[in-house]
Chain A
Amino acid sequence: QVQLQESGPGLVKPSETLSLTCTVSGDSVSHNHWSWIRQSPEKGLTWIGYIYKTGTTKYNPSLESRVTISVDTSKNQLSLKLTSATAADTAVYYCVKSSRSRFDPWGQGTLVTVSS
């Protein structure tokens, strides 16, 4: 059974980098697509991007200039970095296995607030 668990700071200051980690169990991050998605009351669910086979990435054009998704195969983790954070980046962030266009399963999500 594949399980995903997000972790990282719950509070980020404006202009700083938002960094999150997702630990995967029951599957290898070296295989399949792995996505990050966020949810806010204002914008609903937003797909941020995915990484495939440890190297290929595809990002939402609306965030592409600030986003980096990577994997650490030794720890079986994926990570998300979002630079120049603003209040608009306040959201619950989910990591998701996104293989063959099926987004399943999802992690429980982690709330990140951008505030001074």
Chain B
Amino acid sequence: DIQMTQSPSSLSASVRDRVTITCRASQSINTYLNWYQHKPGKAPNLLIYGAANVQSGVPSRFSGSGSGTDFTLTISSLQLEDCATYYCQQTYTGTPYTFGQGTTLEIK
């Protein structure tokens, strides 16, 4: 299986900060990479698909980049409602889809 490693595991930032979360795949996955936001008691929410495409309805402060094995999720100006756990997921064809372990984002 393709292993997905996120860093950091947790972080604390202030409103209006720029925040970056990274995700590394154990082998190349082209751009088959999604990002999700998960708040307690709610359904996970797709933010980014195909590494860099923002899902409809997602605020423009969220962006994604990368290809191959290294990917980033960036929040350009952190808001209070962005407090959540963020997961990356690879959907490379022919392999079991796997997720990163998650990054918990706290607002200072």
Chain A residues near B (Cβ < 8 Å) = 35, 44-47, 60-62, 94, 101-109
Contact = CB atoms under 8 A, between A and B. Distances in A.
8 closest A-B pairs by beta carbon, nearest first, are A104-B46, A45-B99, A101-B91, A106-B43, A47-B97, A102-B49, A60-B96, A106-B44
Interface in B40-79: 42-46, 49-50, 55
Given A101-B49, A102-B49, A104-B55, A94 B101 contact: no
Interface of B: 1, 32, 34, 36, 42-46, 49-50, 55, 87, 89, 91, 96-102
Nearest to B31: A101
A103 B102 CA distance: 16
A106 B87 CA distance: 14
Given A101-B32, A101-B49, A102-B55, A107 B43 contact: yes
Nearest to B42: A108
Contact of A103 (B34, B42, B50, B101): B34
Contacts, number: 48
A68 B96 CA distance: 16
Given A101-B32, A102-B34, A45 B46 contact: no
Given A47-B99, A101-B49, 15 more contacts: A44-B100, A45-B99, A46-B99, A47-B97, A61-B96, A101-B32, A102-B46, A102-B49, A103-B36, A103-B89, A105-B45, A106-B45, A107-B43, A108-B42, A109-B43
Given A102-B34, A102-B49, A94 B96 contact: no
Contacts of A105: 43, 45-46
Contact of A94 (B1, B43, B50, B98): B43
Contacts of B45: 104-106
Contacts of B42: 108
A44 B99 contact: yes
